[in-house]
Structures are given as C-alpha cells and as structure tokens.
C-alpha cells in the first residue's frame, strides 16, 4: 500500500465518492488540504469571498441535480462558525453538504490556540455528524462514514474538522480498494401501502401533498404516474414545487399562508383526505392546525421516523423513502386499476377553481408594482428556467405568480430562509448546471447581504440572471410591523450623493454590480421590464457573468398573506379576466 498524507487521502476519497467541485477559502490551518487538492488534481475549486457564501454555494450545487453533494472548505475558527448558517439551512431542508474545516494542532486544542474553536460541538446540533479527527488513521473511515450518513435516511450535512498536524501525517492507504458504503433508506411495506390506498378509496375528495422529500428522492416521475393512475389532484409544497408541472391537469396549486394560490387554498378546504409524501407540514403551509385538519383524514409518508406526528398526529403514518413508497403506490394502484374510483368530477372541480381564482398582475402604473415583474418573467423565461430564491416579499410573490414545470427548477431555502442566500446559492446552481438558464429573485436587502459573491460569478465565469426588485425597504418585516402599528428600522432608503438619479432609493446596485465585474440593467417603467430580461438573456451568453436586472418598485406593497388558509388577506385588486392576469396558466385559452 502507498503512504499518503491524510489530506491527500481525503481528496482521493472525495473523488471516489463522486465529488468534482469544491467551494471555499484557504487559510493557514487548512493549507495542507489545499496542497493536496493541488497535487492530486481532479477537483475544481471555486474561491468564495465569504465562507458562509461557500456553504450556500455548496447547498445550491447539491439542490440542482440528483446525486450531487456540495462541498465547502474553510480554515479554523471563524471559517467554521461562518458555515453554521449554511449547515442550518441544509439541515432544515434535508440537503447533504460536506463542510471541511482546518483546526489547530491536536496538542493545542485545549490551550486557546489562535483560531482554535470547538467547531464540532457548535455544529453538532445542525448536522448528521460533526467530528474533530484526532487520530490520523481515522481520516479514511471518517470520510467514508460522512458520505454514508449524508446519503442514508433523511439526507443532511456533515462537518469534518481536521487539525493541521493530522492533515500532514502520513498513513498507509490503498485508494484502489476503496468503495463507498451503501446508503440505507427505509422502505414502506406492501401492507402499509395497501392500507393507505384502502383509506384513500373511502374518500370522495382526496389530495396528494407533494413535499421536498420527493425531489430529494428523485421521485417526481413516480409521483406524476401515481397521480395519473388514480386521478388524484396534487398540491406541491414550496419545497416540492416542480414535482408535478404547474400546467398539469392534476396540479391543484400551492396551499398556505403566503406562498400559495387562491385556488390551492380553496381546494384544500374542499378536500376530505390528504396523502402527504415527503413533506413536514410546515406552519406556513398549514396555518392553524384546526382549520387545516378539520374534516380531513391524513396519511403521512416520510423518511424520518420522528417526523411522523411531529406537527400533528396523522391517521396513519408510514416511514419510507419517497421513491420506495411511490414505486409501491404505483405498483398496487396498477393492480387495482379496475377497482379505482372515478375521480374525474373532483379533478374537474379543482381545475375550475384554477381557471378563475387569480391575482391581478397586469398593472401598468409607475412606480412599478411588483406583480408586473413576475408577469414579464413568465413571458421571458420558458419551461426550462431554474429559479433560485430565499425569503421576503419577493420570494412570496414569486411563488404566487411564477410557474415551475420541473423538479429542481424552484430552488429555495425553505425552513431557514437566511437573507443573503440567493446570490451564492444561484452561483452553486449555475456551477452544477452551466448550460441552463438560472434566474435568481431577490429583494434589495437579501441582495445586499452577500453581494460580494457576485465577484465569484464574474471571476469564474458563472452566468446567471438576477432579478432584483428594489423598494428600498425590509418589505416583509415592514408588513409584519403593521400589526404593531410601526414602521421602525426597516427603511433602506437614503439620498445617495453619488447617484441622485435613484431619487432616494439608496444603494446604487448597478454601480456595485459593475464594480464586481458583472453586467447590470436598471428599469423604472413597466414596459421596460421584458426588454431588459431579453437583453439579460443575451448578455449572459455573451459575457458569461452574472447579469442583474434591477426593477425600481413602488415603496410599499402589501402582499397577500394571512394566519389561516381560509383567511388570506388580499391587499390588491383581484383579476376579473384573463386580461388582468395574462400569464396565469389558464388565462386567455380561447
């Protein structure tokens, strides 16, 4: 066997596990690992400007393609603590990423050495494993276990902390005989699936709630097949958006307090049976549980045993990987094909809601109303676009008004919602799929949080379009403050002495973006939005850098939301016809 430094062993194992891309920042305590990447070759490294940014790039990279695992690397001390938000975001949404940190020498870990922090203890609540490797000979097994854990059961992140002396120690290691450990995923039994289908058969108005676990399991095609076999309409959650195309006859729309459709909420309220697969009953989906559950029977399928009953007790729970469960659902449904109930009248009822319960988007006023932005985005981008967003009024309205047709084409930090996530995550997505059109959506505050990462896209030629809706406000927080009768510490507006043309909108995002090596377009008039988006599509091809399309909005827009799914407040006028919502899915069909 060959003798190798453990840092070299780690690099070789990563390659054997299918890793090709790494996002990170070098530093003194992780330099041996960087030397190993240089000498061993085979890994493309993207140099982030902030370690939190690197962790979100890794997240975006994982989320973009089935089987991907994003890797972020940083030095000791603050590099690890900077990764914590990325670990939280990944853990909350069941996203596997591998975080690797450098560390002080083993003998100095208890001596308050420079940048020596017990990062494993800090990260442990947010990971499937967080470990400081104290024995060099344990490096191979630790990395092997890391990949095994990330892929097994509920997916999630892992942190491996490598003291510098451990990285430099030579051990005996035979990479030629290394094999990844098989992942473990629980699978439903046939009896469980048969019981669930028996319960479904007793219902009159059933729905399937399709969660992000279906996307994680790469099972969207099975979901659609099962829905078509049974004729049951599907409600995708925000994390499951794209599991069934928005224009599919059985897509019932999204349900919830914010990222939802009027027709989706109405359909949920009319249902009597709900089969949830790979979802977690998030509170912004359910609202008040009494309203959400009243008069309905629930079956819940999830890969994580402790997720069953976490939010409310279902009538029947099944612990299973979504793909394994859906494969059995399809198999048993095919066997029962002749006995399946005719759901066509219920499905038609669902479609009729979808054909009329729209929000208005066709506003032609100046300053621009945000609804018009999403209308023009629907026109500009086809069905293959990949959207990336995080949080805020921009994300909420995007989910209310955009259309998604494929899994992994709406990429969103769902449970954590960290501001600043969008720019680095979009870079990770575009790195994973450089040939697709990646479009990010941010408000001005999210955009400013990690704006420096735009330089990464410029340096490494990572093209994507970033639609920036600018109202110079912390818009979602401002709207939440209405209940406290205040508008306090949420203003981002000021008179920029260097950009008087902004008329009080504060930061000149165009100048900043251009200074970071990107292209940028600013829009003040609603008729300019579509031409700007079309120009952006040409610019990303020509220059292979991020292109920002900033739309200057009216300062205050209150976005549809509420506290119960039967009491979502509509602050703007609703659509009376297809002319009011020309890009609604069923508008102007005749």
State the average pLDDT over residues 386-404. Answer: 95
Inform me whether the pLDDT recorded for 423 exceeds 90.
yes
Q: Measured in whole angstroms, how far is the alpha carbon of residue 207 from the centre of its chain?
A: 24
533 within 8 A of 550, measured Cβ to Cβ: no
Average pLDDT over residues 206-231: 98
State pTM to two decimals.
0.95
Alpha-carbon distances, residue 422 vs 55, 185, 451 (angstroms): 12, 30, 10
* Segment among 150-154, 292-296, 473-477, 500-504 with least mean pLDDT: 473-477
- Binned at pLDDT 50, 70 and 90, residue 589 comes out as very low
Q: Mean pLDDT over residues 268-290, rounded?
A: 96
In this prediction, residue 587 carries a pLDDT of 63
Q: Please state the rounded mean pLDDT for residues 259-267.
A: 95
Q: What angle is formed at CA 358 by the lines to CA 396 and CA 292, rounded to 5 degrees?
A: 65
pLDDT > 80? residue 1: no
Distance, CA of 112 to CA of 105 (rounded, Å): 11
Mean pLDDT for 162-184 is 96
- Cβ burial of 263 (10 Å; 0-12, 13-18, 19+) is buried
Q: How much is the pLDDT for 588?
A: 54
Task: Please compute the mean of the pLDDT values over residues 534-538 and round it to a whole number.
Answer: 98
pLDDT 10s digits, 116-148? 899 999 999 999 999 999 999 999 999 999 999
Q: What are phi and psi of 574, to 5 degrees?
A: -95, 165
Rounded to 5 degrees, φ, ψ at 551 are -110, 120
Q: How many CB atoms sit inside 10 A of residue 168's CB?
A: 16
d(CA 271, CA 207): 7
Q: Is the pLDDT confidence value at 62 over 90? A: yes
| Greater model confidence, 587 or 100 | 100
Q: Which of 549, 556, 557 is nearest to 573 (CA)?
A: 557
Residue 296 burial class via C-beta count within 10 angstroms: exposed 0-12, middle 13-18, buried 19 and up: middle
Backbone φ and ψ for 527, nearest 5 degrees, come out as -75, -10
- As a residue count, the chain comes to 590
Cα distances (Å, whole numbers) of residue 38 to 11, 30, 35, 41, 97: 10, 13, 5, 6, 22
3-state secondary structure of 370: helix
Q: Is the dihedral of CA 400, 406, 407, 410 positive or negative?
A: negative
pLDDT mean across residues, the chain = 95
- Which tens digit of pLDDT belongs to each residue from 93-117? 999 999 999 999 999 888 888 878 9
pLDDT at 590: 40
> What phi and psi values does residue 158 have, to the nearest 5 degrees?
-135, 145
Check if the beta carbon of residue 103 is closer than 8 Å to that of residue 163.
Answer: yes
Per-residue pLDDT at 167 = 98
């Amino acid at each position: 066997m060959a003798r190798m430094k453990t840092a070299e062993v780690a690099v070789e194992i990563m390659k054997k596990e299918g890793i090709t891309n790494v996002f990170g920042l070098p530093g003194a305590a992780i330099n041996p690992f960087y030397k190993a990447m240089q000498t061993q070759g085979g890994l493309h490294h993207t140099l982030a400007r902030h370690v939190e940014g690197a962790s979100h790039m890794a997240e975006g990279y994982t989320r973009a393609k089935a089987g991907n695992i994003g890797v972020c690397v940083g030095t000791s001390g603050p590099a690890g603590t900077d990764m914590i938000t990325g670990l939280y975001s990944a853990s909350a949404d069941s996203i596997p990423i591998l975080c690797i940190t450098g560390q002080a020498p083993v003998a100095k870990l208890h001596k308050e050495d420079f940048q020596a922090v017990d990062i494993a203890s800090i990260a442990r609540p947010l990971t499937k494993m967080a470990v400081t490797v104290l024995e060099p000979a344990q490096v191979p097994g630790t990395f092997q276990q890391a990949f095994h854990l990330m892929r097994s059961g509920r997916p999630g992140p892992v942190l491996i902390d490598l003291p510098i002396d451990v990285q430099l120690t030579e051990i005996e290691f035979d990479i030629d005989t290394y094999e990844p450990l098989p992942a473990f995923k629980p699978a439903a039994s046939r009896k469980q699936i048969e019981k669930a289908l028996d319960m479904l058969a007793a219902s009159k108005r059933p729905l399937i709630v399709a969660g992000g676990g279906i996307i994680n399991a790469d099972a969207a095609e099975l979901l659609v097949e099962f829905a078509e076999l049974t004729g049951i309409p599907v409600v995708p959650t925000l994390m499951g958006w794209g599991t069934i195309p928005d224009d599919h006859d059985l897509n019932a729309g999204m349900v919830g307090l914010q990222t939802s459709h009027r027709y989706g909420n109405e359909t949920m309220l009319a249902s009597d049976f709900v089969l949830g697969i790979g979802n977690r009953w998030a509170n912004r989906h359910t609202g008040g549980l009494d309203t959400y559950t009243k008069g309905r029977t629930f079956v819940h399928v999830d890969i994580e045993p402790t997720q069953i009953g976490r939010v409310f007790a279902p009538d029947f729970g099944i612990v299973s990987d979504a793909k394994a469960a859906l494969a059995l659902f399809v198999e048993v449904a095919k066997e029962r094909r002749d006995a399946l109930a005719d759901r066509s009248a219920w499905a038609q009822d669902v479609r009729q809601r979808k054909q009329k319960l729209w929000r208005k988007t066709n506003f032609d006023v100046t300053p621009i109303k945000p609804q018009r932005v999403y209308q023009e985005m629907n026109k500009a981008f086809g069905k293959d676009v990949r959207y990336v967003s995080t949080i805020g009024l921009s994300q909420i309205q995007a989910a209310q008004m955009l259309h998604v047709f494929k899994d992994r084409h709406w990429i969103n930090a769902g449970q954590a919602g960290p501001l600043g996530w969008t720019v680095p995550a979009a870079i990770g997505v575009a790195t994973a799929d450089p040939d697709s059109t990646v479009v990010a959506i941010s408000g001005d505050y999210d955009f400013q949080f990690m704006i420096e990462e735009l330089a990464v896209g410029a340096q490494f030629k990572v093209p994507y379009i970033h639609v920036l809706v600018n109202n110079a406000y912390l818009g979602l927080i401002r709207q939440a403050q209405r209940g406290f009768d205040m508008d306090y510490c949420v203003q981002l507006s000021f008179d920029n002495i260097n950009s008087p043309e902004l008329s009080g909108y504060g930061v000149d995002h165009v100048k900043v973006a251009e200074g970071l090596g990107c292209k940028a377009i600013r829009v003040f008039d609603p008729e300019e939005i579509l031409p700007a988006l079309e120009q952006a599509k040409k610019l990303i091809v020509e220059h292979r850098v991020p292109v920002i399309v900033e739309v200057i909005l009216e300062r205050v827009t209150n976005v549809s939301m509420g506290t119960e799914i039967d009491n979502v407040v509509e602050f703007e006028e609703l659509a009376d016809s297809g002319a009011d919502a020309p890009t609604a899915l069923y508008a102007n069909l005749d």
